[in-house]
């Protein structure tokens, strides 16, 4: 189960067997299916696709396979080289391209890579579009270009700077207040492209950046998911350098977490809460996050007179509901900020600029800022899936067992209790069941998660 085809793209481990892992043949097949789908969307002579990658060890190999497959279809490629997911998203409409591909497996360990697929707006494909591409891949119904009609590859490595320019032009980014605050920040770039982009942004904002793991080698110095248990070195560096706070991103820079001046986690769930608090204080409106995210966003939204809605997990689902509800900010509780004034995609660089603006205007320590928000605690646990495990059957049993509670079943099963909730769902990106809980204390959240893990194991006989 190490080749996963989902709404989040085509993701797998490098090496191994065709159709079991992300081999060169699989990379070519899915890139060809995407290019074929793209050409079916619009009847025109010239097609353009933007391609960029994070710093994974396999990235250059996969990118070359993908780009040359598109060339073989007669599609021109704009090669951004080392880039970030939000940078590619921004580049697609600026280049008047027909789509984009990002080579990244987000927070997964180094042996993973993936093709994340974008439409002509620089937004992720929806489920229907993704399904069509999978059908094309399975049918092998693809026609390649003749020799005189092959595409061309054009390099453009300026887009991280262009992305930063776009952020600095946002009206709510308070550049002068940030410069006056003389912040010192430690950046953990997990030896990927965040180590390039985040320090550049900070430099442009007049913030002193202390670099930690900012060499884009793809050799991740710790598990690349930005969770507390992986970030001991960042905590030590923040305290040692007397920094105002710490920043950590995932390898493709669409997830963002902060660490306060004491070396304590701000909480990745509260990245969106803080940025939304700032945006809503300037431009009141509605918010959206996914149903695995903290209730604190709803609380802050209501405080500013707006309404909050929850979507199914997955960026495309959040974006769809944001558009429907005219949300002015939204995202996912895993540190993903979606700010439509910039673009409809999770963007850690936008999140950093908004957070710095908030902090500069509030003139308070990061620990004080965190203490000003409603206090919820989350537990995020998982159960590894084994082949043959009937996940849908397990979730149906859970739904039946808790039918007397407030249930939401648009994405797995979410059970809302009076002072807590639990969300059980099959991951889009890994062969696991996720068990997320939230409660008024960490102990209660952990206990609730452990209880449901025990119940799932009892149902599944594992």
Q: Is the pLDDT of residue 1 over 70?
A: no
Other Cβ atoms less than 10 A from the Cβ of 406: the count is 11
Joined together, the tokens standing for residue 221 give: 């110095």
Q: Is the pLDDT of residue 255 over 90?
A: yes
**For the segment 163-217, what is each residue's pLDDT rounded down to a tens digit?**
999 999 999 999 999 999 999 999 999 999 999 999 999 999 999 999 999 999 9
Joined together, the tokens standing for residue 11 give: 């993701």
**Helix/strand/coil for 18:** strand
**3-state SS of the chain: helix, strand, coil percent to 5?**
40, 25, 35
Joined together, the tokens standing for residue 299 give: 């609380």
The Cα–Cα gap between 8 and 126 comes to 9
Backbone angles phi, psi at 390, to 5 degrees: -85, 85
The Cα–Cα gap between 234 and 257 comes to 11
Joined together, the tokens standing for residue 364 give: 């308070």
Higher pLDDT, 149 or 1: 149
Other Cβ atoms less than 10 A from the Cβ of 23: the count is 19
Q: Is the pLDDT of residue 9 over 80?
A: no
Identify the band that residue 288 occupies on the pLDDT scale cut at 50, 70 and 90: very high
Q: What's the mean pLDDT in 272-278?
A: 98
Other Cβ atoms less than 10 A from the Cβ of 391: the count is 19
Q: What is the pLDDT of residue 447?
A: 97
The alpha carbon of residue 219 and the mean position of all alpha carbons in its chain are separated, in whole angstroms, by 20
Half-sphere exposure of 433 (CA within 13 A, CB side): 26
pTM here is 0.92
Percentage, residues of the chain above pLDDT 70? 99
- Ramachandran quadrant class, 299 (left: phi over 0; alpha: psi -120 to 50; beta: rest): alpha
Q: How far apart are the first and last CA of the chain?
A: 18
The Cα–Cα gap between 228 and 270 comes to 13
Q: How far is CA 389 from CA 5, 385, 434, 459, in A?
A: 18, 7, 14, 11
**Helix/strand/coil for 175:** helix
The Cα–Cα gap between 180 and 168 comes to 16
Half-sphere exposure of 362 (CA within 13 A, CB side): 19
Q: What is the pLDDT of residue 369?
A: 98
Active-site residues: which are they?
106
User: Going by DSSP bridges, is the β-strand pair 48-53/3-6 parallel, antiparallel, or unpaired?
Assistant: unpaired
1 DSSP 8-state letter: -
Identify the band that residue 227 occupies on the pLDDT scale cut at 50, 70 and 90: confident
């Amino acid at each position: 189960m190490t080749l996963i085809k989902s709404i989040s793209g085509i993701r797998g481990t490098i090496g191994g067997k065709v159709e079991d892992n992300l081999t060169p043949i699989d990379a070519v097949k899915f890139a060809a299916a995407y290019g074929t789908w793209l050409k079916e969307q619009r009847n025109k002579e010239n097609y353009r696709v933007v391609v960029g990658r994070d710093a994974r060890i396999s990235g250059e190999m996969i990118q070359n396979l993908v780009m040359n497959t598109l060339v073989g279809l007669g599609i021109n490629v704009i090669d951004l080289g080392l880039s970030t997911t939000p940078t590619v998203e921004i580049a697609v409409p600026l280049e008047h391209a027909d789509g984009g591909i990002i080579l990244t497996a987000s927070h997964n360990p180094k042996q993973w890579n993936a093709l994340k697929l974008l439409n002509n707006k620089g937004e992720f494909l929806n489920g229907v579009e993704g399904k069509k591409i999978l059908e094309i891949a399975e049918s092998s119904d693809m026609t390649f270009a003749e020799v005189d009609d092959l595409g061309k590859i054009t390099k453009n490595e300026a887009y991280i700077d262009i992305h930063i320019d776009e952020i600095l032009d946002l009206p709510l980014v308070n550049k002068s207040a940030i410069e006056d605050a003389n912040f010192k920040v430690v950046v953990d770039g997990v030896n990927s492209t965040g180590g390039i982009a985040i320090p550049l942004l900070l430099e442009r904002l007049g913030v002193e950046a202390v670099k930690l793991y900012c060499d884009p080698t793809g050799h991740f110095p710790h598990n690349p998911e930005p969770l507390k248990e992986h970030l001991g070195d960042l905590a030590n560096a923040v305290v040692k350098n007397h920094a105002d706070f710490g920043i950590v991103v995932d390898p493709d820079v669409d997830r963002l977490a902060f660490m306060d001046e004491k070396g304590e986690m701000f909480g990745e769930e509260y990245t969106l809460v803080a940025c939304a608090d700032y945006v809503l204080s300037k431009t009141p409106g509605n918010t959206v996050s996914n149903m695995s995210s903290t209730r604190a966003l709803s609380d802050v939204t209501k405080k500013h007179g707006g309404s909050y809605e929850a979507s199914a997990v997955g960026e495309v689902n959040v974006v769809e509901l944001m558009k429907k509800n005219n949300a002015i900010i939204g995202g996912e509780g895993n540190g993903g900020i979606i700010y439509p004034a910039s673009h409809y995609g999770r963007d850690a660089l936008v999140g950093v600029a908004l957070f710095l603006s908030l902090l500069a205007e509030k003139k308070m320590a990061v620990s004080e800022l965190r203490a000003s928000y409603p206090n919820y605690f989350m537990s995020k646990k998982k159960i590894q899936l084994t082949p043959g495990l009937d996940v849908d059957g397990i979730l149906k049993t859970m739904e039946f067992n808790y039918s007397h509670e407030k249930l939401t079943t648009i994405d797995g099963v979410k059970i809302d209790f009076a002072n807590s909730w639990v969300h059980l769902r099959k991951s889009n990106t890994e062969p696991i069941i996720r068990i997320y809980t939230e409660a008024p204390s960490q102990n209660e959240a952990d206990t609730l998660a452990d209880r449901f893990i025990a119940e799932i194991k009892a149902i599944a006989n594992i």
